[in-house]
Amino acid sequence: MPLYQCLVPAGSLNAELRADLAEAITTVHTSVTGAPRGFVNVVFTEYEPSTFFTAGKPREASYIDGTIRAGRDRAARAELLTRLSEAWTAITGQDARSLLLGLTEVDPTSLMEAGLIVPAPGEEAAWMHRHRHVLGDVLSAD
C-alpha cells in the first residue's frame, strides 16, 4: 500500500519510461508521506486510444489513480498531487492538460498487504518490526 494505477494509451510508454515513472512515483510518495519505499506499488495498464472519451469525444490521456491510506492533511495531498504531475510530465513529455490524477483515501483498517492489516500513517516502522517474521524482505525499505 499505496497502489498507483496508471492507465495509459497503448504503446505510449516503453519499459524504460515505465521504470523511470515507477521510481519517480515511489520517490515522490515516500518523500511527501514518509512511508517506506517497500510500501509503494505501481502498475501500468494500457487502453486502446479509441476507448477513452471526454465530453463524449475520443481523447488520448493518461490517468493515475493513487489509492493511499487516509490520514494525511490537505497540504500533503496537494503536494503529492503536484509533485506526481510534475514528475510524470517531466519524464514523459506529456502535456499536463492530458493527465488526470486522483487520490482515493482508504481507512488503513480496511487494507491488507502480505496477509496483514496495514498500519496507520506514521506507524510503519513499529508495524514492520512487529511483523518482521512474516514480512521478511517483502516490504523492505530498500
What pLDDT, in 10s, does the model give residues 55-84?
999 999 999 999 999 999 999 999 999 999
Pair 70, 105: CB distance under 8 Å: yes
Quote the pLDDT of residue 128. 87
Question: Looking at residues 8-21, what average pLDDT do you find?
Answer: 98
Q: Is the pLDDT of residue 138 over 70?
A: no
**CA distance to 50, 53, 74, 133, per residue, from 42 (Å):** 24, 24, 23, 25
Quote the pLDDT of residue 1. 86
Report how far residue 81's alpha carbon sits from residue 88's, in angstroms, rounded to the nearest whole number.
11
Which helix (H) or strand (E) element contains residue 46?
strand 41-47
Q: What is the pLDDT of residues 118-131, one digit of tens each?
A: 999 989 889 988 99
> Model pTM?
0.91
Q: Is the pLDDT of residue 141 over 60?
A: no
Q: What's the CATH code, domain 3-135?
A: 3.30.429.10
